[in-house]
Amino acid sequence: MWVMDSGAAWTMTPRKDLLDAVRAPPISEVRSASGHAVKVAGVGPAAFRAPDGGQVVLKDVLLVPGLKANLISLRKLGQAGVSTTTNGSKTFKGLRGDRVLWDLHESRDVFRSMWQIPALIWESTKKELGEVKAGSGVQGECNAVSAAGVTVSARSGETDWETAHRRLGHVAMPLLQQLHKEEAVKGLKLSGQPNDTKCETCLLSKFTRFPFHGVAGKSKAALELVHMDLVGPFPVRGSKGERYFLTIVDDWSRLMWAYPLKQKDHAASTIRDDWLPFVERQSGHPCKSIRTDRGGEFLGGDLTAWLKKQGIEHQLTTSYTPQSNGVAERANRTILETARALLIESGLGNSMWPHAVRHATVARNRVLTKVADDMWVPLERWLGKKPPVDMLRVFGCMAVAHVPKPYRTKLGASALWCVHLGLAAESKGWLLWEPSKNVLFDSRDVKFVENIMYGKWEKQPEARVTQQLEEITMHFDLSEPADSEVTAPTASGTDEGSNEDIAADAEVNDPEQQQQEASKTPSLPKRRKQIGGGTKDWVKVKEWVNPTIYPARTRMATRKLLSSTSGGATTEQQEQAQGEDAVLFLGDDQESDDEEPAYCFYAPIQPPSMDHALAGPQRGKWLVSRDAEYNSQMENHTWDLVYLPNGKKAIQCKWLAKIKTDEKGEPSVYKSRLVAKGFQQKEKEDYKEVFAPTAKSPTLRVLLAVAAVRKWKVKQMDIVTAFLYGIVEEEVYMVKPPGYEDGTGRVCKLNKAIYGLKQAPRCWYNRLASALEGIGFRASACDESLFLMGEGESLLLLLVYVDDILLFSSSDKEIDGVQRKLTEQFKCKSLGEARYYLGMHIERDTERGWLKLHQGQYINTLAEKYSLQEEREVVTPLPSEFKLIKAAEGEGVESEDQRQFQSMVGSLLYAAVHTRPDISFAVGQLARVVQNPTEEQCGAAERVVRYLKSYPTVGVQYSASAQLSQKGIEVVKEKGEQLGEGKVFLSCFADATWASEHEDSSSVGGYICMVGGGPVSWRSKKQSETALSSVESEYMAMFHAAKEIIWLRRLLKEIGHEQTCATPLFSDSKGAIAMARNAVLHGLNKHMRIKWHWLRKEVKLGTLDPIYVKTQQQPADFLTKRLAEEPHWRCARMAGMSLN
């Protein structure tokens, strides 16, 4: 309680815990009106929250231990510019300017000032809330210590009433008092007396109507009757895509479980596969009855039939009377109110609601519950012994987690700031969120600052270094069940592939595939690495979470698993880890303090705007980066400052912020870029031509394949602020960059092609091409982004993608010479040996002669972006039962899910085009329904991501020793060709699946062109014309493959590797091969368009040589249809994909 005192010369308090940073006082004592002297122990600031939500800080508050009340000096407030108004001594308002600092009303139980003017209690809310009384609609009214206080727990282990109230999820004060009085739980040591001031968070979160009163339960044992209900959909998805949560309440103990779910139909599988087996095993009691409403999630599917088969009674509520399921409805309200209070107080974003729900459930299971005339603690009744609460901490408070020695340098910080999100589900510790890296992890070595919440810390990060820390030493009773007693194991309802794996395995026995079973099964790639070793502890890597300041769709980050010491995991540990995304093992042989936890960190996500970047913890780095970019613009004379001519319009501009990472996913550059809003330009006035070529993906792979075979050097460089070297020919005006306005009203008349201009890429390409031609390069006729210089052994190749450049040569000297010449004209950065290019990892072993290209980092980022990193692994891209059937108008998913599906398919296309031909068929199928996908198709897209996540480092590999398949080697030898070292061969496989499209009986064709033993070009596409036979569809597939072969032969010739013999074109259709060689089967193909028979011409010219292979030797098979596990991976191996 604070008292406004017009006679006090100083603001004073007897409570040290209300002050921050106490220092020596300016005076030694104060005197009362009676002349009694009281010593002053210190002075410091006290902080309050104003009605508008802002913060009010009272400076120079004296610490006077002998006082009986907290006094606020009106004299000091007046000196600070605060004016006060009163209305008949009943109201008292304080203002500073137009801002209301308090709005108070008179209370009877207060001290009066020495001038006999009624003293007024400081209320942390507005008058309307301050006057709310019990019975006016606030159920379970909670009187806690005033929110004005700043509480720090004592080191003795005692906790004040306010902190205990907040730790237990804002439990009602009467319940907390009874809990303390009856010693119903262990570790609840409270100091002082409970205060009757209302808790603002409780008022804001629990202001509801009176509840319906239900009938008390009459169960005699655990699981005799269980109440269930589903809550949702929530307007904001959780960090793993959750939109609902399933509430389960045991009628006998009133123990609650809460399962966040992605979809409503996951409820049945969660009950059947996760909750019921777990609780029956833990309690030793069979479930007898389940009571639910008549929602489709409980009546649909096979849940009702399954319950009947298990002998479990399924009780249903009367239609339109949710009160009939009052126990579950009341549990929903309890959990939601508590979770709402946790989110409001913590300042965390609403996407954290699954964590708040979980913490709310954990807390409510540990407080007294009233049933009829009896009260008990649910978890105590369930376990048969008192549950501990001493490990609970305030949800959303700031904490400092210890960083183990192996993961920090000698001079590095030994701890990191993070946010507490509750007890860890799978380990004895706490779940923490590290905001700057945006990662969840478990730890048991934590110091908490329970009076500083994330919302306050985010706005005033400097406060983090001045707060007192409560050091926590963990004392868990290992004989007790883990907190899975409350949350149970991870719900398979959030895993959309629970039945898909079974279906995929069963597909091997499909009659169409049985003939292939005799083939040798290829070794599958490793799904994940188990890092470290030993037998002590394991900590599961947590999910990427959606932070408060960054929208969900920008969650793009890269995983980095920090390696630990050597040692193998035991079989038991491997079984424990089965199905998890990644597991870190902590072994006995590690040097650690006690048992240090394993950590896994992720690279920072990309900020959506410069404003967000400057509001984050790396503000200083972004300011330096932005200044550097601006100075670069000035040095390059990008613009002239002029007054805007009449009739002209200046386009806007903005700053972009991007964190560039290295091949390990570590942040390497904080890049600021000034971008013009080119969409405001007018055609023919502000720009004319805009086309600019970029490197084709097959060109890159051909050059890398040849480099592997010929053992060429491959080096990388980029051009700094490349577009600024392009000259703008049109007259374009732009406003000054944000943050650098000079107030003169002048605008920028652009001289250089700044990023964002429609013509900027073309201006830059023309400038670069001119510079390259000036030093002896010539542009390729096959790909204008490829430049060549020299011939034979002195040949040097340069491939450019905007400002990223790769150089290929047999000589380091030649490459270094070109780099020096380019540096004379542009500001360049040499990056050495190529290791990471356009999001692709380039791994190479020059001695063994192989080169691998994969997108492991991008794939892990993709899984985290869509919250699928912890989903169950799958071994094929599509399930066995998948059929592409377009939905009728209005039958597709909601618009939000549609947008996510479109984004997901676009992301998958990037992988399919560059390094993953094994998903080309699946992605091609999904791309055809992006305008109106169904739930099944959305699930199929997620499955493709899960498949990639299961094998993230699978890619394409090239090697001189694996140039051709065995069949290819036989063909080359028959033609008299030599297989000498450094010889580059091109081969191709084409295939089709006839009439596989259910809607129009179209066929799907595909091909794979290979150089250096690996795929350099591939395609999977629905054929544009309907084939009347399988021979026709195979013939058309060979036609498209032939077109790509012609282009590849020309490209290889340009770079000095002309194909001197016909390129083998392998097909498993003898009829199609016969048609390609001669005008046979005329009666069957005379209707075909003439263009298809161009293939026959190329065969006669000796460019192509159609050759028959058996289906079991046809790698292009997986480009034309969905395959089971064994044939799918056999095709991948034959296609030259790296499976390790």
What DSSP string describes 863-924? HHHTT-TTSPP-SSSS-TT----PPPTT-S--HHHHHHHHHHHHHHHHHHHHT-GGGHHHHH
Question: If you average pLDDT over each of 109-123, 210-224, 870-884, 913-927, which comes out highest?
Answer: 913-927
Q: Is the pLDDT of residue 152 over 60?
A: no
Q: Is 173 exposed, middle or buried (0-12, 13-18, 19+ CB in 10 A)?
A: buried
User: pLDDT at position 308, please?
Assistant: 86
Supply φ then ψ for residue 1006, to 5 degrees: -160, 160
Confidence of residue 953 (pLDDT cuts 50, 70, 90): very high
At residue 1117, the 3 state secondary structure works out as: helix
CA–CA separation, 752 vs 764, rounded Å? 9
Q: How far is CA 489 from CA 303, 441, 765, in A?
A: 20, 17, 56
Longest dimension (CA), the chain: 122
pLDDT per residue over 757-797, tens digit each? 998 999 999 999 999 999 999 999 999 999 999 988 889 99
User: pLDDT at position 918, please?
Assistant: 95
Q: Is the pLDDT of residue 911 over 90?
A: yes
At residue 740, the 3 state secondary structure works out as: coil
Q: What angle do CA 621, 626, 628 make, to 5 degrees?
A: 95
Supply φ then ψ for residue 966, to 5 degrees: -60, -40
CA–CA separation, 469 vs 400, rounded Å? 8
Mean pLDDT of 317-330: 72
Question: What is the pLDDT of the chain when averaged over all its residues?
Answer: 76
Q: Is the pLDDT of residue 809 over 90?
A: yes
Task: Enumerate the β-bridge partners of residue 843.
Answer: 852
Return the structure tokens found at 1030.
């399988």
CA–CA separation, 951 vs 942, rounded Å? 15
User: pLDDT at position 665, please?
Assistant: 64
Q: Which residue has the tokens 């790296």?
A: 1138
Extended beta strands in 994-1077, E state: 1004-1011, 1014-1022, 1063-1067
Q: How far is CA 477 from CA 155, 360, 388, 1025, in A?
A: 21, 22, 9, 70
User: pLDDT at position 493, please?
Assistant: 36
Provide the 10 A C-beta neighbour count for residue 338. Answer: 25
Phi-psi region of 770 (alpha: psi -120 to 50; beta: other; left: phi over 0): alpha
Sequence-distant (6+) residues with CB within 8 A of 630 are 674, 737, 740
Domains of the chain with bracketed CATH: 2-130 (2.40.70), 136-210 (no CATH), 226-340+352-383 (3.30.420.10), 397-475+484-493 (no CATH), 610-683+690-838 (no CATH), 853-953 (no CATH), 962-1138 (3.30.420.10)
CA–CA separation, 1055 vs 884, rounded Å? 42
Return the structure tokens found at 407.
């993961």
Residue, of 1093 and 731, whose pLDDT is higher:
731
Confidence of residue 957 (pLDDT cuts 50, 70, 90): very high
Q: Which of 260, 476, 486, 230 is nearest to 377 (CA)?
A: 486
Task: Enumerate the β-bridge partners of residue 86.
Answer: 92
Provide the 10 A C-beta neighbour count for residue 6. Answer: 17
Sequence-distant (6+) residues with CB within 8 A of 59 are 45, 80
Q: Which residue has the tokens 């479990």?
A: 312
Question: If you average pLDDT over each of 274-283, 860-869, 1064-1073, which comes out highest?
Answer: 1064-1073
DSSP at 170: S
Q: In whole angstroms, what separates CA 497 from the centre of its chain?
A: 20
Q: Is the pLDDT of residue 719 over 80?
A: yes
CB 1114 within 8 A of CB 1066: yes
pLDDT per residue over 818-869, tens digit each? 999 999 999 898 999 999 998 899 999 888 889 999 999 999 989 988 888 7
Mean pLDDT of 964-980: 61
Q: Which of 984, 910, 967, 1106 is nearest to 702 (CA)?
A: 984
Return the structure tokens found at 1034.
């195979």
CB 1038 within 8 A of CB 1074: no
Confidence of residue 583 (pLDDT cuts 50, 70, 90): very low
**pTM of this prediction?**
0.52
Confidence of residue 52 (pLDDT cuts 50, 70, 90): low
Confidence of residue 91 (pLDDT cuts 50, 70, 90): low
CA–CA separation, 193 vs 161, rounded Å? 7
Supply φ then ψ for residue 815, to 5 degrees: -65, -45
User: pLDDT at position 438, please?
Assistant: 72
pLDDT per residue over 515-536, tens digit each? 333 333 334 454 433 323 332 2
Extended beta strands in 826-916, E state: 828-833, 836-837, 840-845, 850-854
Provide the 10 A C-beta neighbour count for residue 716. Answer: 18
Q: How far is CA 689 from CA 651, 686, 759, 761, 768, in A?
A: 19, 10, 7, 10, 17
Return the structure tokens found at 202.
């409780």
CB 405 within 8 A of CB 210: no
Supply φ then ψ for residue 260, to 5 degrees: -65, 135
CB 1083 within 8 A of CB 1031: no
Residue, of 19 and 569, whose pLDDT is higher:
19
Question: If you average pLDDT over each of 132-141, 231-240, 659-668, which comes out highest?
Answer: 231-240
Percentage with pLDDT > 70 across the chain: 73
CB 987 within 8 A of CB 977: no
The alpha carbons of the chain give a radius of gyration, in whole angstroms, of: 35
1087, 1088, 1090, 1092: CA torsion to nearest 10: -170
CA–CA separation, 436 vs 604, rounded Å? 7
User: pLDDT at position 55, please?
Assistant: 63
Give residue 866's identity as a one-letter amino acid code. Answer: Y
Return the structure tokens found at 33.
């009106």
User: pLDDT at position 971, please?
Assistant: 65
Percentage with pLDDT > 90 across the chain: 29
Residues listed for the chain: 1140
Residue, of 865 and 665, whose pLDDT is higher:
865
Q: Which helix (H) or strand (E) holds 814?
A: helix 812-825
pLDDT per residue over 446-462, tens digit each? 989 888 888 877 665 54
User: pLDDT at position 506, please?
Assistant: 29
Tell me the CA end-to-end span of the chain in Å, nearest whole number.
67
Q: Is the pLDDT of residue 24 over 90?
A: no
CB 947 within 8 A of CB 939: no
Specify the range with the lowest mean pLDDT, choosing from 101-105, 731-735, 871-875.
Answer: 101-105
Angle between helices 856-865 and 895-914 (to 10 degrees): 170
CB 1095 within 8 A of CB 1066: no
Confidence of residue 615 (pLDDT cuts 50, 70, 90): confident
Phi-psi region of 665 (alpha: psi -120 to 50; beta: other; left: phi over 0): left
Q: Is the pLDDT of residue 321 over 80?
A: no
Provide the 10 A C-beta neighbour count for residue 1043. Answer: 14
